[in-house]
Amino acid sequence: MPVMGATATNSLGQITLREWLIDASAALLRAGVSDAHVAAECLLMAALGYDRAQLFARLGATLPPELLPQLDGWLQRCLAREPLAYVLGEREFWSRTFVVSPAVLVPRPETEHLVEVALACFPEAARGATIRACDVGTGSGCLAATLAAEWPAAEVVATDVSAEALAVARENARRLGVAERVHFMMADGLSAFLPQSFDLVISNPPYLSETDWAHADPELAYEPRVALDGGPDGLAVIRRIVAAAPRVLRRGGWLVLEMGSSQSDAVQELARQARAQHLFVQNDLAGWPRVVAARW
């Protein structure tokens, strides 16, 4: 039986979608890829232009042979532990599609809790109230563009220290039709902003510690280090954002911040030291503390 990449075809060079899925999932599992079966399905759906329902309705069909080289190329990249989102060039976030490249962190499901908390902090914004928000470290722009899309009158400033990331974020804001209300800035933390500039500061900053790095999945090596590395204890950027928040926030404004699951006590203590008036923590779906919201 001829073998192309990691998947096997019959003597006519044919393979069904089901057979490709089974072979690819097994190879991904052996390579240590988490959610191997889901990754194989995503590759197949992307190659065929199918959604999941279409894929499952046609599992017995023959895979068009002309798709095999592309599929096996993608599979090889996943087997080398390149993130699936970089292989496909996109990732879903809050039910919208964002383009991604190795210049930006792959948007994570747990970061959607930041959106959830921000929407809850400003219920009037969904009804058209004017909100001025700052997304510190915008990366792909997933937070900035999502908030601008959810809040029809919001003005969002999206910052990053990476010009390459800002270019990707700009493209996402354009695709989602919110580019007129998302203003991109190359800026380090919040030091560039005048006092009382924002109602909301939102950020998923780099927060991995040296210990986290030592135990990280191989996929993380493909992502920008500046997006992940939070210094020795992971809190280097968080410390600066929390310290600057009371200055740049208007009275009653919120800071909504993602953090590592073991950083909750430390981040809450930083917010108390910065004299936050109100403080709460939101857990992620796995039950880990993931978001701190603080009000001044």
Ligand X SMILES: C[S@@+](CC[C@H](N)C(=O)[O-])C[C@H]1O[C@@H](n2cnc3c(N)ncnc32)[C@H](O)[C@@H]1O
Using CB under 6 A, list all residues that contact ligand X. Answer: 104-105, 107, 111, 136-140, 142-143, 159-162, 165, 188-189, 204-206, 226-227, 237
3-class secondary structure, 105: coil
CB nearer to ligand X: give 36 or 237. 237
Q: Could you tell me the smallest distance in angstroms from the CB atom of residue 54 to ligand X?
A: 29
H helix or E strand, kind and range, residue 21:
helix 17-30
CB nearer to ligand X: give 59 or 220. 220
Q: Are 191 and 244 in contact (CB under 8 A)?
A: yes
Q: Which amino acid is at 253?
A: G
Q: Are 4 and 69 in contact (CB under 8 A)?
A: yes
Q: Could you tell me the smallest distance in angstroms from the CB atom of residue 276 to ligand X?
A: 21
Q: Could you tell me the smallest distance in angstroms from the CB atom of residue 70 to ligand X?
A: 27
Q: Could you tell me the smallest distance in angstroms from the CB atom of residue 102 to ligand X?
A: 12
Q: List the Cα angle 256/260/263 in 5-degree steps.
A: 85
CB nearer to ligand X: give 54 or 261. 261
DSSP character string of 201-215: EEE----B-HHHHHT
Q: Could you tell me the smallest distance in angstroms from the CB atom of residue 204 to ligand X?
A: 3
3-class secondary structure, 259: coil
Quote the distance between the C-alpha of residue 42 and its chain's center: 17
Paired with 229 in beta bridges are: 208
CB nearer to ligand X: give 40 or 142. 142
CB nearer to ligand X: give 83 or 189. 189
3-class secondary structure, 84: helix
CB nearer to ligand X: give 26 or 284. 284
Q: Could you tell me the smallest distance in angstroms from the CB atom of residue 207 to ligand X?
A: 7
* Those residues with Cβ within 8 angstroms of residue 265's Cβ, 6 or more apart along the chain or in another chain: none
Q: Could you tell me the smallest distance in angstroms from the CB atom of residue 184 to ligand X?
A: 12
* Those residues with Cβ within 8 angstroms of residue 30's Cβ, 6 or more apart along the chain or in another chain: none
Query: What is the chain's length?
Result: 296
CB nearer to ligand X: give 189 or 253. 189
Q: Are 249 and 288 in contact (CB under 8 A)?
A: no
| Side-chain-side CA neighbours of residue 157 (13 Å) | 20
